[in-house]
Amino acid sequence: MDYISTRDASAQPRSFTDILLTGLSPDGGLFMPAVYPSITPELLNEWRELLLDDGYAALAAEVLKLYVDDIPEADLEAIARRAYRTPVFADEEIVPVTRLNDQLHIGHLSEGPTAAFKDMAMQLLGELFEYELARRGEEINILGATSGDTGSSAEYAMRGRDGIRVFMLTPAGRMTPFQQAQMFGLDDPNIFNIALNGVFDDCQDVVKAVSADAAFKSKYSIGAVNSINFARLLAQVVYYIATYLKVTESNDEKVSFCVPTGNFGNVCAGHIAKQMGLPIDRLIVATNENDVLHDFFANGEYRPRSAAETYATSSPSMDISKASNFERMLFDATLRDSDLTRELFANRVKDGGFAASDLGGEEVMERIRGEFGFASGTSTHADRVATIKRVHDEFGVLVDPHTADGIHVAEQLSGDVDTPIVVLETALPVKFADTIAEAIGKAPEVPERFADIMDAERHVTDLPNDAEAVKAFIAEAIEGTNV
């Protein structure tokens, strides 16, 4: 399997382990497989039995083998077994599914160590990074940005691992107290928390600016775990397949997914699964008040907003106005036109965005809504609070604010969708206690494994929203620690 950049499809292809450690392409683009492997009905039948008999880790290994040809298959199987096991995940199914009614299901992705769906990818990335770095005799310094859950998932997956340091940028004051405690409470010599004066998009811009400095990136072995790293999307493809198999009885059935999203990585994994041939009907993008993506799917206008225009909401992991992985989907939608993709995301986005007319014809939007199956909706604070209360009262299920956004949008569009809809859970309610208390009149129960998390001493460095300041901090930290 070869991997190419969204901004220069003619460049020398790379192997999986190369893009695993590189993260962002040197030209600023995102890596994609040169071709998508196919899921045939026969293969899906095999996977249906495999999931039932051998579990999630076995399925994950088989999906990995389709995309990874430079790690021995036996090693991939061992990597998957280490990543997806109890007690790392609280449920032996890894991804259990709850049926709310005849049409609506919840895919539970938050059974991992940080109670967020990001654990589904990060636990696998931790194993892949450690394996490949040991094989090469190298080390890596991971630079990431988080709006809440990516940071803690990455840090818990990478803490204590040989050859790895993590530098995680957070928007100061923009995460819930529980999210901050999860990250800032870690006292590991290879973990560095940095709070920037800005919003998530500012943090992401700094990550990209540092990664774009080729000399610095090379000297300090900078890598990525944000969803700009294709390996993370690959891990997420697995739970689309697993959830589909649990909701259906035969391959003749189609399933739709409603995905709360801000950075487009989660739903982009669904797009990849659909392109592989998984029988997905609709991919419904659920946004909060930061509804840039909804504007695009509804009106054909992609206009990222400034930090000042990005709202702080009660579903903070979606407080994002520049969706990094959106580039991957449009690369496919424009039939992999890397010149156009580069123009759109290297230039037009900086100048305010672009419209459907800039994509090369109305057939591109028709492909996105038709062949690709994308639809969208949006949710407000009042919507999510009401949804949390109603789902709790009606079904006895307590969901977090982001998942509530997904349920609200799924129900809005259910009349236009003929297939079951799986809402992908974002996190456990405990991470958003204030909003849960507003909705149901009491705080959510704290799982035993998180009982003392709020009591830990905080470890975080405040820095200005400036790439040079971040680079200076990284250089000093690397020179002062061994991993």
Q: Which amino acid does the sequence have at 221?
A: S
- pLDDT mean over 152-181: 90
- pLDDT mean over 163-183: 89
Catalytic residue among 118, 208, 274, 322: 118
The H-or-E segment that residue 283 falls in is: strand 280-287
Active site residue 208: no
**Residue range 396-434, pLDDT digits in tens:** 999 999 999 999 999 999 999 999 999 999 999 998 999
pTM above 0.85, yes or no: yes
Q: What is the structure's pLDDT at 151? A: 85
Look over the chain and give the mean of its residue pLDDT values, rounded to a whole number: 94
pLDDT over 70 percentage in the chain = 100
Query: Is residue 324 predicted with pLDDT exceeding 80?
Result: yes
Query: Is residue 32 predicted with pLDDT exceeding 90?
Result: yes
Query: Is residue 377 predicted with pLDDT exceeding 90?
Result: yes
d(CA 104, CA 415): 12
CB atoms within 10 A of CB 482: 8
Task: For residue 23, count CB atoms less than 10 angstroms from its CB and return exposed for 0-12, middle for 13-18, buried for 19 or more.
Answer: buried
Q: Which residues pair with 163 in a beta bridge?
A: none
pLDDT band of 199, cuts 50, 70, 90: confident
Contact call for residues 162 and 134 (beta carbons, < 8 A): yes
pLDDT band of 119, cuts 50, 70, 90: very high
Task: Let me know how long the chain is.
Answer: 483
pLDDT band of 228, cuts 50, 70, 90: confident
- Sign of the Cα torsion 396, 401, 407, 411 reads positive
Q: What is the structure's pLDDT at 224? A: 77
pLDDT over 90 percentage in the chain = 81
Q: What is the structure's pLDDT at 221? A: 92
Contact call for residues 265 and 324 (beta carbons, < 8 A): yes
Q: What is the structure's pLDDT at 158? A: 94
Contact call for residues 128 and 70 (beta carbons, < 8 A): no
Q: What are phi and psi of 259, to 5 degrees?
A: -125, 115
Q: What is the structure's pLDDT at 337? A: 96
Q: What is the structure's pLDDT at 208? A: 86
Query: Given the structure tokens 């449920």, which residue do they identify?
Result: 91
Q: Output the six-digit token pair for 218.
A: 């090379």
Q: Which long-range contacts (CB under 8 A, 24 or more apart) does 79-86 make?
A: 79/124, 79/127, 79/128, 79/131, 80/124, 80/127, 81/57, 82/127, 83/57, 83/123, 83/124, 83/126, 83/127, 84/55, 84/56, 84/57, 84/60, 84/123, 84/124, 85/57
Query: Is residue 110 predicted with pLDDT exceeding 90?
Result: yes
Q: What is the structure's pLDDT at 402? A: 97
pLDDT band of 455, cuts 50, 70, 90: confident
Query: Is residue 24 predicted with pLDDT exceeding 90?
Result: no
Q: For the chain, which domains are there?
A: 97-114+233-440 (3.40.50.1100)
